[in-house]
Amino acid sequence: KSARFGIEVEQFMASEVGRYLIARAKDEEAQALEALAEAPAQEWKRIIELQQTVKRARSIQNWLAVAVQNGRAAIRDIEARESLD
């Protein structure tokens, strides 16, 4: 199950939609970091909002990467078990 899911996520990431979403997340993160660097300290609500934007963008990318890594690990486990048989 984990192997198949990882493969599906990897295929999704390589798709046009996947590439678009990853690019959007990276762009959103970069824009938020730029705005965060320029935000005046007294605008603490804006700073918190920008921090949350960065965390969300990073989380999306991380979730996909972890799913792929877990899938690849599951495939290696399956291959290792099959080689023992």
Nearest residue to 25 via CA among 65, 66, 56: 56
pLDDT at 1: 85
pLDDT in tens, 15-35: 999 999 999 999 999 999 999
pLDDT at 84: 83
Burial degree of 9 (CB within 10 A; 0-12, 13-18, 19+) = buried
User: What pTM does this model have?
Assistant: 0.80
Q: Determine contact, residues 24/53, Cβ cutoff 8 Å.
A: no
pLDDT in tens, 51-81: 999 999 999 999 999 999 999 999 999 999 8
pLDDT at 83: 87
